[in-house]
Structure 1
């Protein structure tokens, strides 16, 4: 579904009607407020598994995104990406959350909606793959994602891998919620 501002211009970040419920759920789970060493390690595993320089576990709130798990390769700090906190209109994870399904962008500049995103110019991100973290209540909490500074073909294998990693992370969140992890 495409959303437009009242002026008729295409919104680069989709309307997120589930944000209030997600914010409450993230608070219940204790997620999205602080860095988590276990999630940092998970993000590093995502990067290794997908062969990407950067990866994250991102929880999307009403006004901002918070990477509770974050991995960046050498030289990323100088580029300013990735950051733990981003406005909600930066990056591609908010699209995954609202769409409720994975997103693969082999070259973000090939898509008008994504080419104008602040992370393209600000940090040089050129490709993205991300999958939603959907909990047992059906709430999309955020994403597991990987990005690269060059265009790349993630392919169906990359898509399947990021979806499997997202399912694995949701299982971890549920174990923590149940007091088993």
Structure 2
């Protein structure tokens, strides 16, 4: 991870797996354009959570792209800098991240996405493909603190695993 000596906040972690991930995303043909199936997945996840935002997010070297997006603000862009948000942390860690109230975590409270969207809650789960590469995330976001508990996290993990299986079918040797 990088450290900002002036702001004294831990920044987005160094992502040594990005070049391999980008090659894999290109092979699978995902992560550069919106996809109705991923939008449908995001809608289902948002409805299940009762949250205003849900995404299927793929992480490249310098940016992240929401190939699946559910948001109450239709003008919301689908691409962000890699340093905005929490999904890059999930991808590098290769583990779920639950922030019931981002303000409770100094490491995460200063992220630019908090001010841009009034984000307060984040739950992200990595999308890990059959080769073991974390391609991106499935995440739920809310503008108010939330507590769903372990059962909901397990549900999102299960949904992410199912989506990873659907993505595997895009492989040239699977078609």
The equivalent of 2:49 in structure 1 is 50
Preserved CA contact (<8 Å) 2:4 2:11: no
TM-score with structure 1 length normalisation? 0.90
Q: SS at the partner of 2:56?
A: strand
- Residues 1:53 and 1:7: Cα distance change in structure 2 (over 3 Å): closer
Distance 2:79 2:168 in 1: 24
The equivalent of 1:134 in structure 2 is 128
How far did 1:154 drift? 2.3
The equivalent of 2:27 in structure 1 is 28
Distance 1:15 1:129 in 2: 21
How far did 1:176 drift? 2.5
Preserved CA contact (<8 Å) 1:128 1:147: yes
Runs of 4+ in 1 over 2 A off after TM superposition: 2-11
Q: SS at the partner of 1:38?
A: helix
Preserved CA contact (<8 Å) 1:50 1:161: no
Unaligned runs of 5+ in 1: none
TM-score with structure 2 length normalisation? 0.93
Preserved CA contact (<8 Å) 1:33 1:66: yes
- Residues 1:8 and 1:17: Cα distance change in structure 2 (over 3 Å): farther
Distance 1:129 1:155 in 2: 11
The equivalent of 1:60 in structure 2 is 59
Describe the superposition over 1:84-126 as per-residue Cα deviations: whole angstroms up to 9, x where unpaired. Answer: 0000000110000000000100000100111001111111111
The equivalent of 1:119 in structure 2 is 113
